[in-house]
Amino acid sequence: MSVSVQITQSLGGFTLDAGFEGEGGVTALFGPSGCGKTSVINAIAGLSRPDAGHIRVGGHVLFDSSKGIFVPPHKRRIGYVFQEPRLFPHMSVLENIEYGRPMQSHSTPMDGGLAALGIDHLMERRPRDLSGGEAQRVAIARAIMSQPKVLLMDEPLAALDDARKSEFLPYLQALVARTSIPVFYVSHAMAEVAQLADHLVVMRDGRVVRSGPLAQILSDPAAVADIGVREAGAILNVTVARSDAGDGLSELSCGAGRLYLPKVQASDGETLRVRIRASDVMLSKDKPDGLSALNILPCSVTQLHEGHGPGVAVALRSGSVDLMARVTRRSARAMGLRAGLNCYAVIKSVSVAPTDMGGRGST
Ligand SMILES: Nc1ncnc2c1ncn2[C@@H]1O[C@H](COP(=O)(O)OP(=O)(O)OP(=O)(O)O)[C@@H](O)[C@H]1O
C-alpha cells in the first residue's frame, strides 16, 4: 500500500516542510525532539490542516490543497496511540476496547492483531490495576478495534522504563507482523525503530533529511550524521542456529557467516533482526590472532565517508551482508582504508546490546 506525504505548514514560529514516499508497512518518523514528527502525524490524522500539499495513503486522498480536499478526522478511519494510554478510568479493559468498535460492527479486527497483544486475561480489570505496558497494549487494542485504515503511534513506549520497554516490544512486533495496515511510528529511539520499522523517515528542523528502506539508510555511511554517530549501524537478518550456545551466548547465522552474540529470547530456526552499531565494529587489515573477540568476519570496504568530526564511516560488505564501522580518520589513514580493500571486521559479542536484538527478521 503506497504512502505519499508532501506538506508545508506554518506552526507559530515553526515551519514544517516535509515530504516522503513509502510502501506501507511500518514507517518510522525519527528525529530529535521538536523536529516535527508529531506535527506530521497530526496532519495525517487530520487533527491539523497543512497550508499546502497532499497526503495519500493507499488509494485514499486524505488531503490535497490543489483540489481543495480535506477529509475530516472522523472520516479518515485512523487509529491513534499516544504516549500515554488515555483509557477511561471508570470502564473495564473490555469496555475500553469495545469503545473503539465501530457501531454495527461485530467482527474481530485485523488479522488476529488483537490476539498478538496478549491482553485476554486483563479484560475485567480497571485501568488503575494495569501496569504501564499493559495499559498501553489495551490502548493499542482499542485503536485497532476501530478497524483503522492507518495506525499512528506517537512514542507509545515513551512513558515506560527500559525493562517495560523490552517487555512491550515483542507485542508490538507481533502486532505489526500480523497487520496489513500501514503504521506510522514516531520515535527518537533508534533501538525501537530498528526492531520495528520497514521504512525510515529522518527529520530535522521540520524537514525530511532522509527517507527510504530502513536497512538501506542505516548502512549508508553518508547518513551517519543524520542518524547520529552512536545510532548508526547495519541491520542484519539472522537465523538462530543455537539459541543456547553456552556461556550466555547464542549462535546466529547470517549472510556473513556465524555470529556469537548475547543470548536471544528466540527458538532455534527463528529469524531475527540484529543491529550492529558502527561504533561496535573494529577493523583489521590482517586476520587477528589471539583476540578475545569471537566474531571476526572477512569483508571488503565498499565506501568511506568522512564527516566533520574525527570519525570516518566505513561501509563494508561481508558475504551477502552490509556492515558499517566507524573509525578515526587517523586509523583510516594508518590502515590505508580505501574502497576495494579486503580486511576483517571484528565485533565484540558483549558490545551488542540486548535491545538491539530480536526484531522482526524481514527487512
Ligand atoms: N499548534 C502549534 N503552534 C505553534 N507551534 C507548534 C504547534 N504545534 C507544534 N508546534 C511547534 O512545532 C515544533 C515541532 O513540534 P512536534 O511536536 O511536531 O515535534 P516532535 O518532533 O514530535 O517533538 P517531540 O519528539 O518532542 O514530541 C515544536 O517547536 C513545537 O513547539
The 10s digit of each residue's pLDDT in 299-319 is 999 999 987 888 899 999 999
Q: What is the pLDDT of residue 15?
A: 96
Does 27 or 288 have the greater pLDDT score?
27
Cα(340) to ligand 1 centroid in Å equals: 44
Q: Per-residue confidence at 86, pLDDT binned at 50, 70, 90?
A: confident
Most confident by average pLDDT, 57-66, 101-110, 140-149, 305-314: 57-66
> What is the Å distance from ligand 1's center to 39 Cα?
6
- Whether residue 104 is predicted with pLDDT greater than 70 in this model: the reply is no
pLDDT for 108: 56
Q: Cα-flanking dihedrals φ and ψ of residue 116, to 5°? A: -65, -20
If you average pLDDT over residues 176-204, what whole number do you get? 89
Rounded Cα distance between 58 and 346, Å, is 43
Q: What pLDDT is stored for residue 351 in this prediction?
A: 64
Query: Is the distance from the beta carbon of residue 326 to the nearest atom of ligand 1 less than 6 Å?
Result: no
Name the more confident of 117 and 64.
64
Q: Hey, is 331 helix, strand or coil?
A: helix
Tell me the CA–centroid distance for residue 11 and ligand 1, in Å: 8
Query: Which tens digit of pLDDT belongs to each residue from 160-189?
Result: 777 777 777 888 888 888 878 889 999 988
pLDDT tier for residue 355 given thresholds of 50, 70 and 90: low
Query: Atom 13, ligand 1: which residue's CA is nearest?
Result: 34
Establish whether residue 14 lines the binding site of ligand 1, counting it when its CB lies within 6 angstroms of any ligand atom: yes
| pLDDT confidence bin for 358, thresholds 50/70/90 | low
* All residues at 6 or more sequence positions from 336 whose CB lies less than 8 Å from its CB, including other chains: 285
Report how far ligand 1's centroid is from the alpha carbon of 36 (Å). Answer: 5
Q: Is the distance from CB of 278 to CB of 324 less than 8 angstroms?
A: yes
Percentage of residues of the chain with pLDDT beyond 90: 51
Rounded CA-CA distance 101/118 in Å is 18
The pLDDT score that the predictor gives to residue 111 is 45
- Grade residue 113 by pLDDT with cuts at 50, 70 and 90: low
Is residue 363 pLDDT above 50, yes or no?
A: no
- Confidence class of residue 327 from pLDDT cuts 50, 70 and 90? very high
Q: What is the set of domains in the chain, with CATH numbers?
A: 3-218 (3.40.50.300), 233-360 (2.40.50.100)
CA dist 180 and 359 (Å) reads 18
Instruction: Name the pLDDT band for 145 (thresholds 50, 70, 90).
Output: confident
Query: Which of 125-134, 167-176, 196-205 bottoms out in mean pLDDT, i.e. has the lowest?
Result: 167-176
Predicted pLDDT at 149? 86
Q: What is the mean pLDDT of residues 99-111?
A: 61
Answer yes or no: is the C-beta of 188 below 6 A from any ligand 1 atom. yes
Distance from Cα 328 to the centre of ligand 1, integer Å: 36
Residue type, 112: G
